[in-house]
Amino acid sequence: MSLFGKLFGGGGGKGGKAASPQEAIQRLRETEEMLTKKQEFLEKKIDEELITAKRNGTKNKRAALQALKRKKRYEKQLAQIDGTLSTIEFQREALENANTNTEVLKNMGFAAKAMKNAHENMDIDKVDDLMQDITEQQELAQEISDAISKPVGFGEDFDEDELLAELEELEQEELDKNLLEIGGAENVPLPNVPSASLPARPAKKREEEDEDDMKDLERWAMEAM
């Protein structure tokens, strides 16, 4: 049996149970890990054979050539493993994407069934009727709120024009009253002039004034001569 048959369970025959995507992905990861270790081993062997070839060189040409031959075989195996790893990595990524898509579709189907069950007892006509009833009740509630908030009382029975006319009459009466008060204030009698004579000037000041008058008269007489 081939290596890949052993790795992927090919020995189960045609009637064998197929592996699930999760199992296949896990096996591919294990194979990648094994081949990576094999790569590291071959790289070490290549380095060792290269050292052997250099150490022998011309001293032991036959041993050096054998080391180089082994190094070539190891390099060939390493190249094969590199290609195998690339293939396995591509297959693993494809399986992971397929598994992801499967899970997504499974969950979407589950959600679709749940939505279907949720809508199973719903009738679009009943929904429309229900929404119409809700709209009517909201409008009724708004009308009731408007009616409750509207002011009520006896004051609403009076005519606003009559109230404005009465207010103008009151304002005119107040204006007439103010004018009458201003007119009556103009006829208020002035205070009486005091009948008592003004107090006489002091005698000393009057004598000084007489002396000034006499000096002016003498000055005038001298100028006339």
Residues 153-212 have pLDDT tens digits of: 554 566 778 878 888 888 888 888 888 887 665 555 555 655 555 555 555 566 666 677
In a domain, 81, yes or no: yes
Query: Is-contact 91 35, C-beta < 8 A?
Result: no
pLDDT value, residue 6: 47
In a domain, 49, yes or no: yes
In a domain, 104, yes or no: yes
In a domain, 151, yes or no: no
Residues 107-149 have pLDDT tens digits of: 999 898 888 888 887 778 877 888 888 998 998 898 888 888 7
The whole-model pTM stands at 0.43
pLDDT value, residue 169: 86
In a domain, 105, yes or no: yes
CATH of the domain at 53: 1.10.287.1060
In a domain, 206, yes or no: no
CA distance 105 to 88: 25
Task: Count other Cβ atoms within 10 Å, centred on residue 31.
Answer: 19
Please count the structural domains in the chain: 1
In which band, very low, low, confident or very high, does the pLDDT at 2 lie, cut at 50, 70 and 90?
A: very low
In which band, very low, low, confident or very high, does the pLDDT at 11 lie, cut at 50, 70 and 90?
A: very low
In a domain, 34, yes or no: yes
Rg of the chain in Å (alpha carbons): 64
Which structural domain range is residue 65 located in? 22-114
Query: Is-contact 49 68, C-beta < 8 A?
Result: yes
